Amino acid sequence: EIKTLMTRHAVVEEAAHRGRVPLLSSHRIPSKHYICGSIAAFTNIVVTFPIQKVLFRQQLHGVLAIEAVRQLQRDGLRNLYRGLLPPLLQKSTTVAIMFGLYEDFSRVLLNRADGSGIPELVTRSFAAALAGTAEAVLTPFERVQTLLQDHRHHGRFNNTAHTFRTLLTEYGVRECYRGLVPILLRNCPSNVLFFGLRGPIKEQLPEATSRAGNLVNDFVCGGVLGAGLGIMFYPLNVVKSRAQSQVGGPFQSYRKVLLTVWTERGGSVRMLFRGAHLNYHRSLLSWGIINATYELLLKLI
């Protein structure tokens, strides 16, 4: 049933954007998907950053949410938004790339595949995977964010610029891309599922008759997808956080890092997914905000 819905992607996408009346013609703003994606991500990060810090502590140390909150309280209000700039830059850019390149790749690939008999679902899925791969170029921002959020490095790294400078001068560019593999393994399939299911899920919601109704539907659609994908790929984020918290030393494969975390947490799936419930709620809120803001801005541009 899901596959049938996904093959109707073009029709569903049109329905998903029903009622969009651009104030400016799209040819005058060829980069509107990038602009809307960037602003949507910016809004989301500012709202949800404190929640992300609690989640990060759980992923890194396997502690309960209340203990992670206590750690942040001990760090003080001054450090609450410490490390905000990297995710702000990284997320604003990656979400812009995610939406913008998906639209661009889809258009180019669909034109090239026209008449070839290749299903549109396959073409759009490939476009989504390419966009996810391109996002991974910005891995250094996630790397710096991890180091600034890890309280064990508070005395070593002062801010975003200092962290980048230290990594580059003392370890080289390669160190900035520590944790790249789990990011790629996360980005590509999650993009394929997000763009493949976004339209069909919205089609199953009650039809909106107003702008507010469309906004709610877009929030629900994005939130449900974000929360589900967040749970599905949570172990990869745990591996990424652990790998990126290391500075210097040998690069370990993601399998070895996962095995290390698995052993440290007593071979317990429950412990491996510690923090997943908070990640679920954060993703629900984050991707609800991103999707709703993105669609709203597309209607206005």
Task: Write down how long the chain is.
Answer: 301
Q: Does domain 2-300 have CATH number 1.10.10.60?
A: no
Instruction: Report the interhelical angle of 9-16 vs 180-204 (nearest 10°).
Output: 70
pLDDT of 297 > 60? The answer is: yes
What is the C-alpha end-to-end distance of the chain, expressed in Å? 34
Distance (Å) of CA 213 to CA 41, 85, 201, 217, 296: 21, 33, 15, 6, 11
pLDDT of 14 > 70? The answer is: no
Short-list 48, 140, 52, 60, CA closest to 93: 140
In this structure, of 61-75, 85-99, 190-204, the range with the lowest mean pLDDT score is: 61-75
Domain boundaries, the chain: 2-300
List, for residues 266-292, the tens digit of each pLDDT value.
999 999 998 898 889 889 999 999 999
- According to the model, what pLDDT value does residue 217 have? 95
Q: Which amino acid is at 130?
A: L
Give the chain's count of helices (H) and strands (E): 15, 0
Sorted by sequence, the CB contacts under 8 Å of residue 183 that are 6+ apart come out as: 136, 139, 142, 240
* CA 249/CA 91 separation, integer angstroms: 28
- According to the model, what pLDDT value does residue 15 have? 47
pLDDT of 61 > 90? The answer is: no
In this structure, of 7-16, 203-212, 221-230, 247-256, the range with the lowest mean pLDDT score is: 7-16
Residue 13: pLDDT band by 50, 70, 90 thresholds?
low
Q: What mean pLDDT is predicted for residues 24-35?
A: 67
Whole-model pTM?
0.79
DSSP state of 249: S
* CA 114/CA 116 separation, integer angstroms: 6
Cβ pair 176, 139 in contact under 8 A: yes
Q: What mean pLDDT is predicted for residues 195-200?
A: 94
What percent of the chain lies above the pLDDT cut of 90? 57
List, for residues 142-192, the tens digit of each pLDDT value.
899 889 888 888 888 888 899 999 999 999 999 999 999 999 999 999 999
Sorted by sequence, the CB contacts under 8 Å of residue 267 that are 6+ apart come out as: none
Q: Which amino acid is at 113?
A: A
Average pLDDT score, the chain: 86
Contacts 24+ apart (CB under 8 A), 88-92: 88/42, 88/45, 88/46, 89/141, 90/138, 90/141, 90/142, 90/145, 91/41, 91/42, 91/44, 91/45, 92/38, 92/39, 92/41, 92/42, 92/45
* CA 54/CA 22 separation, integer angstroms: 39
Q: What mean pLDDT is predicted for residues 193-213?
A: 92
